[in-house]
Structure 1
Amino acid sequence: MVRIARPALVLCAGLVVAVAGCADDGGSTPTHAHSAAATTSGVPTACGVDLTAPVIQSAVAALPAEPVTHAAWSTDPRGFEGNFDPCATLSTVIITVQGATGSSPNQALLFHKGSYIGTATPEAHGFTSLDVDRTTDDTVGLTYKTPGSCNACTDGTVTQVQFRWEGQKVRTIGTPPK
């Protein structure tokens, strides 16, 4: 099953390289929307969640095939989940493979001010979703179903991880599943 939820969160456009590190930290404040316009190559960009933005398609096209299944990543925005906003400090789009089922691998793409900076984790994980309550303008919260947990059960074990923009890089708060 492909997730098509589109939570109302925000993010922005800019260029930087992401570097993830692990740390343990507390919760975060709920997100808020931006009303100002950003610019991309001197052209004003409307702020707000937009999972159809061309930069997302470019990021997906730059990824190699998923290494375990060898499947190509889906480019259909109807299957995307996330809060990509060209005006947010850090945002994400969660993608899956073409022909996905509910347990297919997902990959979270991270964007800083609307520019693609890399994936949240080196490897894809099934059952990845945006944690709206732990996401802010500069922090993306993701929830991963813990490997080995019942994937068909509503009470399966989850791992919550946050990715926070800190000036020039992304810091990982928590430990993603292996």
Structure 2
Amino acid sequence: MVTAALTSCGSGDSTVAKTPEATTTPSTATSDPPNSPTNTPSATAEPPTSSDPPVDPCAVNLASPAIARVVSELPRDPRSEQPWNPAPLAGNYNECAQLSAVVIQANTHTDNPATRAVLFHLGKFIPEGVPDTYGFNGIDPSQCTGDTVALTYPSGISGLGSVVKFRWNGSGVELIGNAAGS
């Protein structure tokens, strides 16, 4: 029986390509005849590929648990008295940027829910000393840098909006400019 098992393992091209596993599999196959241990290393090999994206903390991560935690602790929207929805509408949050942001909206079913930006320094929420960030509905990534966030908001004129830039100055957030029609 062992000879037949070795012959069947040797004839499969996929096991020949996996020489280290093929060497381990026959000794395991002697203890456990099913080929399920061969499938187990394959299943183990798949999770590292799914864990590859979280390895880079400097990548934009709008699904970060830090965002949901911060949003859950914010005071309710003053207009609707509703909590904020933790799913960002837009953002460039990452743990390495001097300044990053997410745009959230009130958790309400109205046609025009209140929105606001939440700013972060090195992935940590900036709770104080931030200019008013209510009403912003997006981010202009073409105008963002590692220490600058360009937030957008509608101007009320059809097709036109405005961009307001905020910058981390080394100790806090400052408003550095705004432009209409962007």
**Aligned residue type for 2:57:** A
TM-score, structure 2 length as denominator? 0.60
Matches within 5 A, 1:66-81: 66-75=77-86, 77=87, 79-81=88-90
Going by fraction, where is strand more abundant, 1 or 2? 1
Note the alpha carbon deviations across 1:78-117, whole angstroms, 9 max, x for none.
x431000111111001011113556221110000001000
TM-score, structure 1 length as denominator? 0.62
Gap runs ≥5 in structure 2: 1-54
Going by fraction, where is helix more abundant, 1 or 2? 2
Secondary structure class of the residue paired with 1:141: strand
Larger radius of gyration: 2
**Aligned residue type for 1:168:** S
In the superposition, relative to structure 1, how do residues 111 and 93 fare at CA in structure 2: closer, same or farther (>3 Å)?
Answer: same
Whole-angstrom distance in 2 between the partners of 1:105 and 1:57: 18
More RCO (CA 8 Å, sep 6+): 1
- Tell me how large the CA RMSD over aligned residues is: 2.5
Whole-angstrom distance in 2 between the partners of 1:175 and 1:164: 12
Gap runs ≥5 in structure 1: 1-43
Aligned-pair identity (%): 34
Give the equivalent residue in structure 2 for 1:165.
168
Q: Which runs of 4+ in 1 moved over 6 A?
A: none
**Aligned residue type for 2:177:** G
